[in-house]
């Protein structure tokens, strides 16, 4: 079989060609698995960060909510809902 020819059905591949095809497939699948692992670990990290930001709502005292965000404290009045504060935490985390 000449270089550049595609193997047709019924054609027998030489042992070297079979090995090359198998190695190519193996490399491709291992690369895809590596990419998948990286994506999954990034998603897990994102979820972990979101959970930390949820825990950052420290306390509610006398009409003010104290929110810890990136090493500094800020207060927000209780007229804003807890949900909005949590959504703000999600957005700052991304």
- Model pLDDT for residues 53-76, shown as the tens digit of each residue: 665 555 554 555 555 554 444 444
68 located within any domain? yes
Global confidence as pTM: 0.33
Residues 60 and 89 in one domain: yes
Residues 93 and 67 in one domain: yes
Tally of domains within the chain: 2
**What domain range is 69 assigned to?**
56-94
User: What is the share, in percent, of the chain residues with pLDDT greater than 70?
Assistant: 33
**Dist CA 46 CA 90 (whole Å):** 10
Residues 94 and 60 in one domain: yes
76 located within any domain? yes
From the number of C-beta atoms within 10 Å of its C-beta (0-12, 13-18, 19+), residue 84 rates as exposed
86 located within any domain? yes
Residues 38 and 69 in one domain: no
79 located within any domain? yes
How would you classify residue 10: left for phi > 0, otherwise alpha for psi between -120 and 50, otherwise beta? left
What does the pLDDT look like over 39-59, one tens digit per residue? Answer: 888 888 888 877 766 655 555
Residues 41 and 63 in one domain: no
């Amino acid at each position: 079989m000449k270089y550049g020819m595609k193997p047709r059905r019924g054609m027998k591949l030489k042992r070297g060609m079979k090995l090359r095809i198998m190695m190519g497939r193996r490399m491709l699948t291992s690369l895809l698995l590596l990419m998948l692992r990286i994506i999954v670990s990034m998603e897990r990290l994102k979820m972990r960060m979101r959970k930390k930001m949820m825990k950052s709502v420290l306390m509610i005292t006398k009409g003010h909510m104290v929110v810890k965000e990136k090493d500094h404290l800020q207060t927000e009045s209780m007229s804003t809902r807890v949900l909005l504060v949590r959504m703000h935490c999600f957005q700052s985390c991304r």
